[in-house]
Each structure stands twice: as C-alpha cells, then as structure tokens.
Copies of this chain bind each other. A is one copy, B any other.
Amino acid sequence: MHIVILGGDGYLGWPTAMYLSRKGHQVTVVDNYFRRESCRELDVAMLYDVPSLPERARIWHELTGLEIKVVLADLAQPENVRNLFSGDVSYDWAVNENFTGVPEAVVHYAEQPSAPYSLIDHNHANTTITNNLLVTNNLMFAVKDMAPDVHIVKLGTMGEYGTPNIDIEEGWIDISHKGREDKFLFPRQAGSIYHTSKIMDTDLLWFGVRMWDLKVTDLMQGPVYGVDTDESLLDPRLRTIFNYDEVFGTVVNRFIVQAVVGYPLTVYGKGGQTRGYLNIKDTLQCVHKALETPAEAGELRIFNQIMETLSVNQIADLIATVGKTRGHAVEVKQLENPRKEAEEHYYNPVYQGLLDLGVIPHYLTEKVVREMFEVVEKHKSTIRKAIIFKGIKW
C-alpha cells in the first residue's frame, strides 16, 4: 500500500513511518518541522538530538534497504497537500525521485498537539486552531477533489470527550428524546484549545463524510508514553523525539525525566485526573490495523485508542516505586492546579474496537517503566531542569 504520513517527523509520525515501511508499505512522510521550531521558540530542549528528517530516512535506507520518501512542506498551504495527489511534488529525500502515485491512505498527525502550547496566549491559540483546521480541511478537499477513494486515518484525542458523568462510547451515541430516536456523535467538551481544535476536526470530517462519502477513521487517542519501538532498536539515531517539558512532554515520559534528575513529580491538585493511556508501540499497531481494514465510503469510523485508564496519582506512584529501586530519591509533590479541570471524576470509556481488529495491548508495567528509565538515565547530563515546569495557566 502507498501511504502518506502527514507530520512524519513527530513523536508518533516517524516511528509509524518506519513500522509501516518494515511491513512492506511504500511510505512518504511530510513535515514542516513545526515541533522542532516550536522547541526553539519556547527554548525547550529534547532529551537527545535527532537527525533531520531526510537524514533519518537515509539512515533507515542504509540499514534496511527500504525507502521512506521525504517532503518538507507546510500542509496549511493547500497546494502542498494537493501536490501529494497530483504528483507535482519534489522530494527532499528519496531513492527514486519519481512520484509513487496517488496514495491509498493518508495518516494525519500534522497537528499542533500540546494543550499548554495552545494556551500560552491568544497568538498560540490562533496558531493551534488555524494550523490544525487548515491541514485537516486541505486534506479533506484534496481527497474529495482528487482521490475520493483514499482512506484518511486521523488522530483524534480522548480529550475531545472530556470527563462526562456517563460512560464514553466509541465516538457515537444513540439518543432517545421525547419518544423519538437518532444516532449522534458522542458529546464533546474539551479541556484546552488544542483539544477543542480536535473537536473541530471531528466536526469537519463528519461533514465531509456525510457530503462526499469519504472514508475516515478517527483514532481517539489517549496520552502516549514510551521511547523505543522495534525499528528504533536498529540504531539509536532512529529513535523518536523525546520531550520532557511541560509543553510537549507527555506525562509518563516527563515524570521519568523528573525522577532521574531529582525534580519532584508535579501532580496537579488532587491527582485523581484519570485518562486512557497507551504505549507508543500500540499507536503503531492501531494505525496499522486501521489501515489494513479501511473505513467504508461514507463512514466516519471512530475508535477509542487507549489500552488502560490510570490516574495521575497511579502514574506518579508507579514511577516513584521504580525510580527508588534504581537509586533515585523520587518525591511526589502536589501543586496548585494551573488548569481548570475535575480532579476527581467518573471516567469509564469503552475501548474495544481496536482490540477486535487484533491489536495486542502493552500495559504500563514496572518493566516498561524500567526500560524507559534506562534510556533517560543515559542522557541525564543533558537534562535542563529549568524547562520542566513553566506554569502555563488556563
């Protein structure tokens, strides 16, 4: 299958590219280095440097003989999206510079993915909204106009649902009201501008699916943790980016860094905030399984992409436990919550669809945490404590 990955330089994009390449697919990645540039803008470092995207693709080819074509382009510009379908594209790295042909599937990761980033100020909120919606809209129109059979696999977020007082279904709910019935998108109410931009993506794709019979899978993902995947074990230069700051670092990854440098684990408020989590390896499995069994024409297929639910306190306790066995003096510290969110709440999401497709879940075990500690400890000397917590409020 020919698959284009939008946002192919990111935390999930690059590992997905390698995974699908090794499964025998022809992969093209597109990115505009938004994350790398934002890290520079905000002065937040990554745990280790990663090569440029063309260089990563070159190393991958050198080690495996497999080609991942690279395009460096801003997908908020419609022509850059349309060129991926017309063939009017020039590759920034490729073994064979010829156009691979119209893709059969597009995996869409090309979004500003951070809640705190989206709430730094009105300008960052605007950037989040315009980037995320323009990329999605450009993709939707390009597919409708140029390649209506393409399967769009879009990364959504469990955060779209918020923490309602009813069970969270996989995307949809049947409502009976005053003796009549209809089926609707499950109610959405998010806790940040970023998460709200993902609700808007859903609004947009649901429109496109109804109007133009597009094929869309929306993967409502929880926070992802992890560093290595089977492919990155080939060579450390193939590892995905690893942020440990408040803006771009996801909670498990960030807490392990904090434990290693003796920075207290920063639990916001009571720490009862419960979310669904998954290992980065499971993101790859989920996207792959979704690609193997595409949505039907006119179907917005929604899966809740999590493998277990955990509270912040549970995560902090687990990391403290493992950290202590490795000689780190780990302290857990409750901070006044910089966010407006429920610190104790009902949370009962359904997450069965991807398991039914054959995904084999990993869980956040002591062993998994230990392996992450091993990676982080090797890079301890590079960690900048000052960037861990910035206190962005909303």
Contact = CB atoms under 8 A, between A and B. Distances in A.
A390 interface: no
A123 interface: yes
Contacts of A340: 210-211
A181 B184 CA distance: 17
A203 B187 CA distance: 11
A204 interface: yes
Interface stretch (A11-19, A124-132, A247-255, A260-268): A124-132
Q: Max chain B CB contacts within 10 Å: which of A121, A166, A210?
A: A166
Interface string A162-191: 001111000001011110111011011111
Contacts of A181: 165-166
B203 A199 contact: yes
A303 interface: no
A187 B187 contact: yes
Contacts of A210: 189, 340
A207 B178 contact: no
A394 interface: yes
A166 B173 contact: no
Nearest to A192: B207
Interface string A306-343: 00000000000000000000000000000000001000
A138 interface: yes
A361 interface: no
Contacts of A206: 189
A48 interface: no
A283 B181 CA distance: 32
Nearest to A182: B165
Contacts of A133: 129-130, 133, 200
Contacts of A196: 203-204, 207
A137 interface: yes
Contacts of A193: 137, 204, 207
A134 B173 CA distance: 31
Contact of A167 (B137, B177, B185): B177
Interface of A: 78, 121-123, 125-126, 129-130, 133-134, 137-138, 141-142, 145, 164-167, 173, 175-178, 180-182, 184-185, 187-193, 196, 199-200, 203-204, 206-207, 210-211, 340, 346, 394
21 contacts: A122-B141, A122-B145, A129-B134, A164-B182, A166-B175, A166-B177, A166-B178, A166-B181, A166-B182, A167-B180, A184-B189, A189-B207, A190-B203, A190-B207, A191-B207, A192-B207, A196-B203, A199-B203, A200-B200, A210-B340, A211-B340
**Cβ-closest 3 pairs across A and B:** A122-B141, A184-B187, A165-B182
